[in-house]
């Protein structure tokens, strides 16, 4: 399987777009690397770049970018709000798929060694790539910043890991490492005071603040300063004033969003700001964010309103954007800020068509989409109706105590719907794989053997996809039944139609399992799948009949 790492170099230039373009051109010149995001900041005079690809390709792209940045950026003239120590200030590698943190750390060390030796540039390792834990923290390495680096680099304890121990006035120094996914996030305040923004930052950041009394630091019995920790784990934060926006911000690094998600950081900042007479007016994302972080935020804010979380992914993202004010300063475009959307295959998909276009495509002379895709789509419509009933029931006047019960049903329904929609295209993809296999050459014995193997693999896949549709459509009947029994009585007919769709999806998908099974040679596997499919079909028919009986009993003519 393909190994993927993300690289997020930070360059000390945020105003000259020509310089930024020359640097990113170096990244785009490397095959196998995809440039996902370029996020310049004028006040910080810093650009955060996000790229992803196979490790060796990413290392080459990062090296070329670091080299070009060193040629174009003069640190002796640099001014900006963000802490920095070099033209390429920091260059982290992040494991994304099929690669461990340990393996990523080795790649970071390889990049650091090459940069130090070939570019004759001081390089420090950090986080997982740094074997010396006492200097693995980026903020400690960067203490003193560029201005203090001429003296710092001469200290024995701060000899670079690679490259010369000589101050480079033009390029500064670079920090290269491996870390978990980090979200850079700024929270906007209705003040221009850096000191007040810092006060809120110290309230929430894990490192907290040094205890003081009457303006003096309070020490413990060992003479060490007493530290009052902040309220959030895995959070680094400082306050600063952004002249470009005319406001102060809390600049936050969320180093583990599983421990402290974006929405919790936002809410806690709101709470602490309010205690200090300030108000949070919105927030700003720097770089990219995982999809789950946005959907989790949407669900969080809906739950606070006692609203159903069983809404579409698009709606969850919209709620997250509005709740955290992510569009206060600049437009927030999910397709440009969510990492999964940036990595998504941009090929034309059936589910992106209009209803009319999908019907026209189905009715055309092309054999795909066929019955398998239609079964998946019909199944998605069935569970969508049940999810609609759940959402209506969750928000029904007088049913306030039951909102969470119906919200949970709706959320399960959304998950099944999303999976079935993906299978609409996947069934057509399975059919195309069979056609491609049949089109392979067969002029000699070796080619015939390869062709036969490909046909068998594609046929098995074409059995598995509609079988997944069967299982999901059958699973949806539990939700549909619950809505027929307990849902909003005004929508009971919708539950009935949902049951009809689910049963049709099960039976239609099973037809595709059966017809594709005729071309598969492993009869033991075929018999097992047909037996399971027959059982699911019979259970679905019985479940549908039971639901329709409930629906008929509630419809009074």
Supply the residues annotated as catalytic.
Answer: 82, 427
Cα–Cα dist 468/525, whole Å: 16
Q: How far is CA 288 from CA 285, 346, 492, in A?
A: 7, 18, 43
Mention every residue, 6+ apart, whose C-beta is less than 8 A from residue 410: 308, 309, 310, 311, 387, 390, 391, 394
Cα–Cα dist 62/72, whole Å: 15
Which of 250, 234, 127, 156 has the alpha carbon at shortest distance from 199? 250
Query: What tokens were used for 394?
Result: 């969750």
Residue whose entry in the numeric block shows the structure tokens 């784990």: 233
Mention every residue, 6+ apart, whose C-beta is less than 8 A from residue 189: 196, 197, 200, 247, 248, 249, 250, 273, 278, 279, 280, 281
Q: Where would I find the beta strands (DSSP E) of 2-63?
A: 4-7, 10-11, 33-41, 46-53
Q: How far is CA 265 from CA 56, 172, 209, 323, in A?
A: 35, 33, 17, 13
Q: Is residue 218 a contact partner of residue 225, using CB atoms and an 8 Å limit?
A: yes
Cα–Cα dist 150/169, whole Å: 8
DSSP 431-455: HHHHHHHHTS--SSHHHHHHHHHHH
Q: How far is CA 210 from CA 219, 225, 258, 430, in A?
A: 9, 7, 27, 61
| 501, 504, 509, 515: CA torsion to nearest 10 | -160
Calculate the CA 108 to chain-centre distance.
23
Does the N-terminal peptide bond of residue 88 adopt cis geometry, omega within 30 degrees of 0? no
Query: What tokens were used for 173?
Result: 């120094």
Ordered alpha helix ranges (H), 254-337: 262-275, 291-304, 313-324, 334-337
Q: How far is CA 457 from CA 82, 196, 368, 435, in A?
A: 54, 63, 19, 12
Instruction: Give backbone dihedrals phi and psi of 217, rounded to 5 degrees, phi first.
Output: -70, 135
Helix (H, G, I), strand (E, B) or coil at 347: coil
Strand partners, 149: none
Cα–Cα dist 186/462, whole Å: 47
């Amino acid at each position: 399987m393909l190994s993927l790492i993300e690289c997020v170099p930070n360059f000390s230039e945020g105003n000259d777009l020509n310089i930024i373009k020359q640097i990113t051109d170096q990244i785009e010149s490397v095959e196998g690397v995809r440039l996902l995001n370029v996020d310049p900041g004028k006040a910080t005079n810093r650009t955060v770049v996000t790229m992803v690809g196979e490790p060796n390709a990413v290392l080459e792209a990062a090296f070329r970018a670091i080299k070009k940045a060193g040629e174009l950026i003069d640190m002796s003239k640099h001014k900006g709000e963000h802490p920095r120590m070099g033209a390429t200030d920091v260059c982290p590698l992040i494991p994304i798929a099929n690669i461990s943190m340990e393996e990523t750390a080795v790649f970071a060390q390889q990049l650091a060694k090459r940069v130090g030796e070939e570019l004759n540039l001081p390089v420090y390792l950090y986080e997982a790539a740094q074997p010396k834990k006492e200097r693995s923290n980026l903020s400690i390495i960067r203490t003193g910043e560029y201005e203090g680096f001429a003296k710092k680099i001469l200290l024995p304890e701060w000899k670079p890991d690679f490259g010369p121990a000589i101050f480079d006035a033009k390029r500064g120094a670079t920090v290269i490492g491996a870390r978990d996914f980090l979200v850079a996030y700024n929270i906007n305040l209705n003040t221009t005071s850096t000191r007040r923004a810092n006060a809120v930052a110290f309230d929430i950041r894990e490192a907290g603040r040094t205890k003081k009394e009457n303006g003096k630091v309070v020490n413990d019995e060992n003479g060490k300063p007493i530290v009052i920790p902040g309220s959030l784990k895995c959070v680094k934060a400082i306050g600063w004033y952004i002249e470009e926006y005319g406001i102060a911000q809390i600049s936050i690094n969320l180093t583990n969003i599983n421990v402290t998600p974006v929405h919790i950081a936002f809410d806690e900042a709101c709470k602490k700001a309010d205690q200090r007479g300030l108000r949070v007016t919105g927030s700003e994302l720097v770089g990219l964010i995982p999809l789950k972080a946005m959907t989790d935020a949407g669900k969080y804010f809906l739950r606070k309103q006692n609203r159903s979380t069983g809404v579409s992914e698009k709606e969850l993202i919209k709620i997250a954007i509005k709740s955290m004010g992510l569009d206060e300063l600049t437009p927030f475009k999910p397709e440009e800020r969510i990492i999964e959307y940036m990595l998504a295959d941009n090929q034309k998909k059936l589910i992106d068509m209009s209803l009319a276009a999908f019907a026209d495509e189905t009715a055309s002379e092309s054999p795909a989409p066929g019955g398998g895709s239609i079964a998946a789509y019909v199944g998605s419509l069935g569970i969508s109706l049940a999810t609609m009933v759940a959402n209506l029931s969750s928000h029904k006047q007088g049913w306030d105590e039951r909102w969470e019960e119906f919200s949970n049903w709706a959320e399960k329904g959304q998950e099944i719907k999303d999976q079935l929609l993906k299978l609409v295209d996947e069934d057509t993809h399975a059919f195309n794989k069979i056609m491609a296999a049949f089109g392979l050459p067969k002029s000699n014995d070796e080619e015939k053997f390869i062709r036969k193997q490909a046909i068998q693999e594609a046929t098995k896949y074409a059995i598995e996809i509609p079988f997944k549709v069967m299982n999901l459509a059958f699973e949806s009947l539990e939700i549909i039944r619950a809505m027929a029994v307990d849902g909003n009585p005004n929508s009971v007919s919708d539950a009935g139609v949902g049951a009809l769709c689910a049963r049709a999806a099960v039976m239609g998908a099973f037809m595709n399992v059966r017809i594709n099974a005729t071309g598969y040679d492993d009869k033991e596997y075929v018999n097992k799948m047909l037996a399971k499919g027959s059982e699911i079909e019979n259970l679905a028919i019985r479940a549908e009949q039971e639901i329709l009986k409930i629906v008929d009993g509630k419809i009074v003519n």
